[in-house]
Amino acid sequence: MVPDLSRVEGVLGQIARRRLEEVQPYSLPPFPNPPSFREALRGEGLSLIAEIKRKSPSQGEIAPLDARLAAWAYRRGGARAISVLTEPHAFGGRLEDLVAAREAGLPLLRKDFVVHPFMLEEARAYGASAVLLIVAVLGELTGAYLERAQVLGLDALVEVHTERELEVALEAGAGIIGVNNRDLHTLAVDLSTAPALGRRAREKGFSGLLVAESGYRTRAELEPLKGLFDAVLVGTSLSGSRDLEEAVRALC
Ligand SMILES: O=P(O)(O)OC[C@@H](O)[C@@H](O)c1c[nH]c2ccccc12
């Protein structure tokens, strides 16, 4: 159940292939039930998922964050969930960041390039409530990964960037769809992507949760999402702020 990554182009393909080379399954201890990611996004208005992001292929170094302190600051500012990037090479993350961040008590999304079922088990064992599943990486295996996540008690944020990928996500039975404004092959950002594909998803009868992802810096930029999206995921503009708590408050 490993995706064929030879067909994944650009930066996304490079990162995903490296991730797959590194997977080494081992036996993991159980972890008690984490708080619900889905319920956290269901709250009133547009819920904020704040991301812990130290660096990225598009921005380079962002900030040398302490995951525990960042999670607490995000929580004080009003974030409803935390996205923890655990990819080490391009994003400077690690699995242990989940352990550090979970102290703040908010549901955690393991943000990584899931390319092997073992990565779902890892997410669960390290205390994540949800995992990111990227349709551009998993292709027709998206449904199988979704089912595996469900069995493990994990919510899944199924990420799409094109109408075709949206079709795959809907067909796979995704309950939470993330529309990424950033093209992960080229890293170009277009904030009109999320409203357009979000509308399309609703037209096609999708009644689950919608999350807009990437490129947001100001409250004004969130306006087009209101009434259509349940949540927004913000990384760089928060992680790179001098005062994380204030930065979240300014967006909520
Ligand atoms: O830093 P930004 O532009 O606010 O974006 C956050 C998040 O959407 C982005 O980190 C992201 C979205 N999908 C991904 C997949 C892999 C790695 C990272 C991502």
What would the pLDDT profile of 84-114 be if each residue is shown by its tens digit?
999 999 999 999 999 999 999 999 999 999 9
% of the chain surpassing 90 pLDDT: 98
Ligand 1 centre from 213 Cα, in Å?
6
Q: Which of 11, 15, 110, 111 should be mutated for ligand 1, with most atoms under 8 A from CB?
A: 111
CA of 60 to the centre of ligand 1 (A): 13
Has residue 27 been placed in a domain?
Answer: no
On whether residue 77 sits in a domain, the answer given is: yes
What is the predicted pLDDT for the residue at 41? 97
Q: Whose CA is nearest to atom 10 of ligand 1?
A: 235
pLDDT at position 84: 98
Mean pLDDT computed over 196-225:
98
Paired with 157 in beta bridges are: 132
Tell me whether residue 172 is in a domain: yes
Residue 90 covered by a domain: yes
The whole model's pTM is what? 0.97
In terms of residue numbers, what domain contains 9? 5-22+34-251
Q: Give the ligand 1 atom nearest the CA of 87.
A: 17
What is the reported pLDDT for 43? 87
Ligand 1 neighbours, Cβ below 6 Å, are: 51, 53, 111, 134, 159, 180, 213-216, 233-237
The tokens of 12 are what? Answer: 């996304």
Distances 173 to 157, 193, 213 between C-alpha atoms, Å: 12, 21, 20
Q: Could you identify the atom of ligand 1 that is nearest to the CA of residue 237? A: 4
In a domain, 45, yes or no: yes
What is the whole-number distance in angstroms between the Cα of residue 163 and the centre of ligand 1?
Answer: 19
- Per the listing, tokens 């999708």 go with 206
> Could you tell me which of 164, 95, 147 has the C-alpha nearest to residue 124?
95
Residue 54 has pLDDT above 90, yes or no: yes
pLDDT at position 222 over 90 = yes
CATH of the domain at 83: 3.20.20.70
| Any domain includes 178 | yes
Contacts of 155 (CB under 8 A, 6+ apart): 36, 37, 38, 129, 130, 131, 149, 175, 176
Residue for token pair 């810096």: 217
d(C-alpha 1, C-alpha 25), whole Å:
14
H helix count then E strand count, the chain: 12, 10
* Residue 61 CA, ligand 1 centroid: distance in Å: 14
Q: Annotated active-site positions, please?
A: 51, 53, 111, 159, 180, 213-214
Contacts 24+ apart (CB under 8 A), 244-248: 244/50, 244/70, 244/73, 244/74, 244/77, 245/73, 245/74, 245/76, 245/77, 246/77, 247/77, 248/48, 248/50, 248/73, 248/74, 248/76, 248/77, 248/78, 248/79
Under 8 Å between Cβ of 156 and 130: yes
How many angstroms does the Cα of residue 235 sit away from the middle of ligand 1?
6
213, 216, 218, 234, best to mutate for ligand 1 pocket (most atoms within 8 Å of CB): 213
DSSP class of residue 161 equals: -
Specify if 16 maps to a domain.
Answer: yes
Distance CA 216, CA 196 (A): 16
The encoded tokens of residue 67 equal 């995951």
Closest ligand 1 atom, residue 181 Cα: 8
Has residue 62 been placed in a domain? yes
Checking if the pLDDT of 31 tops 90, the result is: no
Ligand 1: atom nearest CA of 112 is 16
Pair 215, 182: CB distance under 8 Å: yes
The average pLDDT across 156-177 equals 98
Domain count, the chain: 1
Which two tokens mark 246?
A: 């204030």
Q: Whose CA is nearest to atom 16 of ligand 1?
A: 112
